[in-house]
Amino acid sequence: MYNIQTGAPLSGVRLSEIKAFLLSRGLTMEGAADYYVALREDDGKIVATGCLDGRVLKYIAVDPSTEGTGAAATVVSELVSYAWQQGIGHLFLYTKPENDRMFRSLGFYPVAKTQDVLMMEDQKNGIAKFVDSIPKKENAGTVGACVMNCNPFTLGHRYLVETAAKRCDTLYLFVVSEDASAFPAAVRYALVEKGVADIPNVIVTKSRDYLVSRATFPTYFIKDRANTANVQTDLDIAIFTDRIAPALNITRRFVGTEPFCPVTNAYNERMKQLLPEKGIELIEIERKNGISASRVRRLMAAGDLAAVRELVPDATYEYIKDHIG
């Protein structure tokens, strides 16, 4: 049997030992994790590792000499129990597609996959239940979708939604649910709902854990890393094209042109390549006068409410006015 070592956060010798082990298994450790598990032999040699970062299991690696001894099960079991005790109920992991069976036997179910990566979750039909929960319309006609963070909802977003809504019969507006932005998710959602209430063919809905979330697309929330984002970008797009779009008959995806943010721009460029293969048209809409949510946030920080007034709809302005300073 092995000695199990757990803890958080990683530092010093323990961190470098785990990094070295991961490297020997072809994995590079990037960023911190909340909790880690290492299995060691009596002489201290690491034979298996795993980490929990938010709701994502990461860096699960096993020394080939221990295969068949249940080392991976011990690590995953420890991570799952810890997460559950912390109240984290919906877990995700990424692995190579060939590990599908192994993780299925540990209670994980596939969400979506690309050539290189398989994304799994610990709930059976988690994604199917999410798709079922999205309101559907009969005779929806041509269905489009856009995914927005709206941090906060601006006249630029409003223009994009209006324009997109004119170009399809039903438009799904997915508001990113991840609470990693200046405006809390509930506020962003409420301001979008108010901001588009008068456009009858728009259905506002939450993206939950499945679109541009920390689970599906962690690098979106760490901006300067356009290059390393590819794997996640493809996976995020696969979830949309393979799981969400078919269930809602979505054939058009709308995005605003993105001159400022390299990550968003790379995401849009990748969608241009991948969406048509799945029968979905990507339509780019020219940004209105370069209005952006980040500009609004800068003006807020500078206390320039009059300038903010020019860039946002009434509901957003009222909220900012009441909550600034």
Partner 1 sequence: MQIVTKGVAGTMESSDIIVRIEPAEQKGIDLTLTSAVMQQFGKQIEKVIRDTLAELGVEDAIVNAVDKGALDCTVAARVKAAAYRAAKCEGNTAE
How many helical (H) and strand (E) elements, i.e. helices and strands, does the chain have?
12, 12
Rule CB under 8 A: is residue 3 a binding residue for partner 1?
no
**Using rule CB under 8 A, residue 106 touches partner 1:** yes
Coil, helix or strand at residue 248: helix
Q: What x/- string results for residues 283 through 322 when contact with partner 1 is judged by CB under 8 A?
A: ----------------------------------------
Give, as ranges, the residues between 244 and 263 that touch partner 1 (CB under 8 A). none
Using CB under 8 A as the binding rule, whether residue 49 contacts partner 1 is answered as no
Q: At its nearest, how many Å lie between partner 1 and the CB of residue 102?
A: 11
Minimum Å gap between C-beta 122 and partner 1 is: 7
Q: Are the CB atoms for 71 and 48 separated by under 8 Å?
A: yes
**Binds partner 1 (CB under 8 A): choice among 5, 19, 40, 70:** 70
Q: Which of 24, 105, 227, 294 binds partner 1 (CB under 8 A)?
A: 105
* One-letter amino acid of 231: V
Binding status of residue 80 toward partner 1 by CB under 8 A: yes
How far apart are CB 75 and partner 1 at their closest, in Å?
A: 9
Q: Which position among 54, 107, 110, 246 is part of the footprint of partner 1 (CB under 8 A)?
A: 107
Compute, in degrees rounded to 10, the torsion defined by CA atoms 17, 18, 23, 24.
70
Q: How many CA atoms lie within 13 A of 126 on its CB side?
A: 20
Per CB under 8 A, the list member of 15, 73, 247, 305 interacting with partner 1 is 73
- Note whether 296 and 141 are within 8 A (CB): no
Contacting partner 1 (CB under 8 A), which of 49, 74, 170, 207?
Answer: 74
Among the listed ranges 69-77, 161-169, 198-206, 229-237, the one in contact with partner 1 (CB under 8 A) is: 69-77
Distance CA 296, CA 117 (A): 37
Question: How many residues line the site for partner 1 (CB under 8 A)?
Answer: 19
Which CB sits closer to partner 1, 2 or 254?
A: 2
77 sits near partner 1 (criterion: CB under 8 A):
yes
3-state secondary structure of 282: strand
CA-to-CA distance for 205 and 189, rounded, in angstroms? 8
Q: Minimum distance between the CB of residue 29 and partner 1, rounded to whole angstroms?
A: 24
d(CA 61, CA 150): 38
Which span (98-106, 145-153, 201-209, 245-253) binds partner 1, by CB under 8 A? 98-106
Query: Which of these segments, 101-109, 177-185, 211-219, 300-308, binds partner 1 (CB under 8 A)?
Result: 101-109
Strand bridging mode 118-121 / 170-175 = unpaired
The binder of partner 1 chosen from 9, 11, 30, 104 (CB under 8 A):
104
Q: Residue from 26, 44, 87, 135 that binds partner 1 (CB under 8 A)?
A: 87
The number of CA neighbours under 13 Å toward the Cβ of 252 is: 21
Q: Which amino acid is at 190?
A: A
Token pair recorded at residue 315? 């509901």
Q: Is 129 in the site for partner 1 (CB under 8 A)?
A: no
Question: Measured in Å, how far apart are the chain's first and last C-alpha atoms?
Answer: 59
**CB-based contact 93:56 (threshold 8 Å):** yes
* Residue 52 CB, nearest approach to partner 1 (Å): 14
Q: DSSP readout, 201-241?
A: TEEEEE-TTTSS-TTT-GGGGSTT-TTTTHHHHHHHHHIII
For tokens 């001894």, what's the residue?
69
Using CB under 8 A, list all residues that contact partner 1.
70, 73-74, 76-78, 80-81, 84-85, 87, 89, 104-107, 122-124
